[in-house]
Amino acid sequence: MKLHDLDLSGNAYKVRLFLSLIGREATLRPVDFLNREHKTQAFLRMNPRGQIPVLEDGELQLGDSHAILVYLARRHAGPEWYPLDPVSQGRIAYWLSYSANEVQNGPASARLITRFNLPLDREQTHQRGLEVLRLVDRHLAEHRWLAQGEQPSIADVALYPYLALAPEGGLALDHYPALNAWIARIRALPGYIPMPGL
């Protein structure tokens, strides 16, 4: 397997983290983001959206971190990460969607503004980020993991990076005890690896 990667990307980190959690290795191929390699014709043939990460596994070239997590869980991990029953799959799909929408437009975008000076609406993004932190903290006050009671899933891997990196976007985690406990549980998982900033 080969992962087209960017060190500071939370989305690429989701894939690196999951590979480590399931004991699989991939060759990491850093993408020259500053020189816009992800927008070259060669890269766009792998991922027409021109986004990082991209996973190559045999003939497969797959973009989107959530799609990659589903693929890796099904192809290379045990069923505990993405169970076959419809209830678990529905709950995981809910959180993957939440990650792609609310988390991406809240904590992830707040980090892009603060750390990388992207011209986004700072106030709106900050408010969205606070809403995400409150909702996830309330949920985790009653559940050990996001989608499954006593077992982490790819939903936890999907949300972890940008929630743990929220302080880089000016979103303090001091008032979210359940969220902080969940972050600590993820960091204690066998195979956990950090990324810059975590």
pLDDT tens, per residue, the chain with 198 residues: 999 898 889 999 999 999 999 999 999 988 877 777 667 787 677 777 777 899 999 999 999 999 999 999 999 999 999 999 999 999 999 999 999 999 999 999 999 898 877 778 889 999 999 999 999 999 999 999 999 888 999 999 999 999 999 999 999 999 999 999 999 999 999 999 999 766
CATH 3.40.30.10 boundaries in the chain = 2-76
Contacts of 76 (CB under 8 A, 6+ apart): 22, 24
This model's pTM is above 0.85: yes
Given 3.40.718.10, 1.20.1050.10, 3.30.70.20, 3.40.47.10, which CATH number is that of 86-187? 1.20.1050.10
The top-level CATH class assigned to 2-76 is alpha beta
Domain with CATH 1.20.1050.10 in the chain: 86-187
Report CA 101 to chain centroid distance, whole Å: 12
